[in-house]
Amino acid sequence: MANTGSAISFGLVNIPIVYNPVIKNNDTSFNQLHKKCMNRIRYQKYCDHCKKIVKDADLIKGYEYEKGEYVTFSKEELTNLQVDAKDSIEIVSFVPESEIDSYYYEKSYILTAPKKSKAYSLFLEALKKSKKVAVAKTALTSKFYYVLLRYFEGNILMSTMYFEEEVNIPDATSESKFSKQELDLAMQLIEHLSDHFKPETYHDDYQNQIKDAIEKKINGKPVPKKAKKKQRPMKDLISSLQKSLES
């Protein structure tokens, strides 16, 4: 969604913005091949009842409300049901950021002004001074969202949010009793492993190993097998904590 335009609706003030995704997908993309001939596999939409391949123009969407019973919707019907918020980000309230649990956050975008804008600069400074975040509603592609707008390093950061009904937090497990010695050792281990958050030191080891293996295969070199780490059985909590500190 890079360089897609929209506008923040701040009361009667209209602030043009451009979406800039914060996160890019780092995963290596693979294609499925037929092992026998190395041809790439293609997916086709096939109807078991009519015994034929179906074109996209002949498809409709259906909701199964009972086994084998559907109500159907055309593309036009679904389009008519979409919330009219695609070209705007309408602010509905301002709230303290501390009241929002982190699990509500989904994807984030930096909202920049397409050109110098007094309205953008004013709203950015107001966000910074208020120390609050704006709750707004919008639509990205065909999905409706509530989003949060907040000041972030001289830009507006917009984060899409999960709805309450999408969040599934299990009940807390019953607590088991532990000794003061066990707690003291656990606290020592935390202290021993404590550091500052440095995101540049965390690397995607799995993707790096895939890229290295691809390079090896291209150059006709074997990909070495990696020995699996064996989990050592825990005899008792205190001795495991003590050994963790020693190591």
CB-based burial, 28-50: b 16+ in 10 Å, e otherwise: eeeeeeeeeeeeeeeeeeeeeee
Task: State residue 50's pLDDT score.
Answer: 94
Low-confidence ranges of the chain (pLDDT < 50): none
Give the residue from 61, 66, 67, 127 showing the smallest Cα distance to 91. 127
Question: Quick one: 81 exposed, middle or buried, by C-beta within 10 A (0-12, 13-18, 19+)?
Answer: exposed
Q: Which residue has the tokens 């015994």?
A: 51
Strands 4-10 and 13-21: antiparallel
The C-alpha atoms of residue 132 and residue 115 are separated, in whole angstroms, by: 25
Task: State residue 86's pLDDT score.
Answer: 65
SS3 assignment, position 209: helix
Task: State residue 234's pLDDT score.
Answer: 66
Task: State residue 243's pLDDT score.
Answer: 82
Task: State residue 3's pLDDT score.
Answer: 59
SS3 assignment, position 118: helix
| Token representation of residue 145 | 């969202």
| Token representation of residue 129 | 């001074």
The C-alpha atoms of residue 144 and residue 162 are separated, in whole angstroms, by: 11
37 backbone φψ class: left, alpha, beta (φ>0; ψ -120 to 50): alpha
The C-alpha atoms of residue 35 and residue 57 are separated, in whole angstroms, by: 32
Taking a C-beta distance cutoff of 8 angstroms, is the pair 118, 25 a contact? Answer: no
Task: State residue 52's pLDDT score.
Answer: 94
| Token representation of residue 163 | 């709805």
Task: State residue 12's pLDDT score.
Answer: 86
Question: Quick one: 2 exposed, middle or buried, by C-beta within 10 A (0-12, 13-18, 19+)?
Answer: exposed
Task: State residue 140's pLDDT score.
Answer: 86
Stated pTM of the model: 0.76
